[in-house]
A and B are shown apart, each in its own frame.
Chain A
Amino acid sequence: MSPVVSLCDISTRLGGQWVHRGLTLDVAQGELMALVGGSGAGKTTLLRQITGLQRPTSGAIELFGEPLYAGRRSQRFARLRRLGMLFQQGALFSALTVFDNIAFPLREFGGLHEAEIRVLVLAKLGQVGLAAQHATLMPAQLSGGMVKRVALARALALEPELLLLDEPTAGLDPERSAAFVALIRQLHAELGFTVVFVTHDLDTLSALATRVAVLAERRILASGTLDEVHATEHPFIQKFFRYHTTIDETPAE
């Protein structure tokens, strides 16, 4: 079976600097793939390239076994509908209610009756652990954790085969972040999508990832299970995990 996402020999030049140089990575069906690396290593850039928001300077990206930019406009859009993205700040439409935010991709898709949309939206709200009365709230009235949940519900509205998460737990307290990770795991088990996510948080990493790819020195330094990556003898990886472990052991204030 062809990989869901396939990055082949990606090179990216941003602001006169090489961010990626000959980067290659495959994500297989059903995997929970974590992208980790230092700040500015180009993790978010990679996610944006997978969604077609940004184009690499050279290299080939394949999504669901087809080249990302192949085909006519309608074919490209149809391919993009098979993925959902959770942006770091949620990127909810601030002028629309929670309900309309989640209904947006469904309405854009067309062909659905408003009654069906209502059922699907409320079901999605339930899936991410929100109640029906939250549907009428505006994004500005939501707490940080709720914004993430609503954004996740919106990303899942079309039941995508691939879910991209940019820092899914950033800005959440440890308890909420653990709950959110559990939610993604549960939905992953239910819906069987593939997940690629970027994180800085080692707890999120160990709780969610089935595979880890370390992005540093403009390429994928190592990829594999957390233990395999941990065992890699590369100074950056050793430092990365040691540093984060030290942070984690610092008692919370």
Chain B
Amino acid sequence: MTQGCAHLAGDWSLAALRPRLPVLRRLLSVHGLQAAGWDLSAVTRMDSFGALLLWRAWGMHEPASVLLPPALQAVMQRVRLAPPVQSAPPVRDWRVALRALGRPGLLIASHAKGFLLMLGSVVLEAARLVYRPRAIPWREFSAAFYQIGVRALPIAALVGFLIGIVLAYLSALQLRNFGADALIINILGIGILRELGPVLVSILVAGRSGSAITAQLGVMRVTEELDALAVMGVSAHQRLILPKVLAMALVMPLLVLWTSAAALGGGMVATQLQLEIGWQHFVVSLAQVVPVQNLVIGFIKGSVFGVAIALVACHFGLRIQPNTESLSRNTTAAVVAAITSVILLDALLAVMTRGIGVPLR
């Protein structure tokens, strides 16, 4: 069935068409291929979208009779000449499933390879510095020490103190049932010094400094600062990663000591309030009932965890591609991986040190 001539008028630009677009689409789909002729002489303005809309309504070819004013020739021509769109046919390939299976494996392999390469480079750089002590990046080390350690002191103390109070309060309630009030000092002392202090600090530092390290390396990748360093013959491993790893190794035991002290302080306050055990008695018997090995284990754990956090954070930082999405994804992954590896290492160390520093009576 053929109908009469279609007369178009007014502004055929995207912004003007937008409010009436659904209605217009319906009208065009009905009349697009059926109208006998098209009269566009009353159209005041037309942009690529308006032209495209018509062109598609016409079924991608010029209708038999079109009245096209000269001003619209160019825009129509642009749409007519637009490269044909071919959407890629969906790939049906049995190997797709296989690839999906293999991809996680390859990803893990690439992470392992990258991590080992970085670890090797850091060790080599450290060895090189033994022969060239003048090249030791003291300033970077000191900056990392300050950022990771000193700046974390207030928050570490606050968290430690509060956790100490909570732990002592809960334990005190249970111990009183058994009349074993005095054991609170053993529980708090061994639990905090050996386990809670290092793990608490590590989680705090992984969230605080781990993400910062990853983001810093990532932004340096995005802004090509890593490339600039490499061109100037400065090893990023030596100047950026090694100082952070060393700073972590040294500052973490100190943070562990600080946080454990705060947690014991909190425990002491709660003990005094709940069980009426005075702080003098608490301090004196702490030294008697908690073997000093526990403190040493806590320090070692802190150091190991710190190194792990720094290495994981740097590893993910170096993997960042120069785009914002990769930056955010890798920063998240770095914190998650750092905390996970801290917990795994903690389990490992707990098994390794199970016979040390726990008096059995």
Residues of A within 8 A of B (CB): 78, 81-82, 93-95, 109-112, 115-116, 118-120, 122-123, 126-127, 132, 138-140, 158-159, 190
Contacts and interface: CB of A to CB of B under 8 A. Distances in A.
Contacts of A123: 48, 78-79, 82-83
Nearest to B79: A123
A118 B49 CA distance: 11
Interface stretch (B10-18, B116-124, B248-256): B10-18
21 contacts: A78-B15, A81-B15, A82-B15, A94-B323, A94-B324, A94-B325, A95-B326, A111-B18, A116-B52, A116-B53, A119-B52, A120-B49, A120-B52, A122-B82, A122-B85, A123-B83, A126-B81, A132-B83, A158-B15, A159-B14, A159-B49
Interface in B128-146: none
Contacts of A122: 82-83, 85
A126 B14 contact: no
Nearest to B47: A159
Given A82-B15, A112-B49, A119 B21 contact: no
A123 B21 CA distance: 21
B18 A110 contact: yes
B110 interface: no
Interface in B163-179: none
B5 to A, nearest CB: 25
B321 A140 contact: yes
A116 B326 CA distance: 30
Interface in B314-340: 321-326
A41 to B, nearest CB: 26
Contact of A95 (B22, B78, B323): B323
B20 to A, nearest CB: 10
Contacts of A120: 48-49, 52
Given A81-B15, A110-B18, A158-B14, A116 B323 contact: no
**Which of B22, B56, B78, B82 is most buried by chain A, counting CB atoms within 10 A of its CB?**
B82
A106 B15 CA distance: 11
Contacts of B15: 78, 81-82, 158
B289 to A, nearest CB: 56
In the complex, the 6 A-B pairs of residues with the closest C-beta atoms, listed nearest first: A95-B325, A94-B323, A123-B82, A159-B47, A140-B322, A111-B21
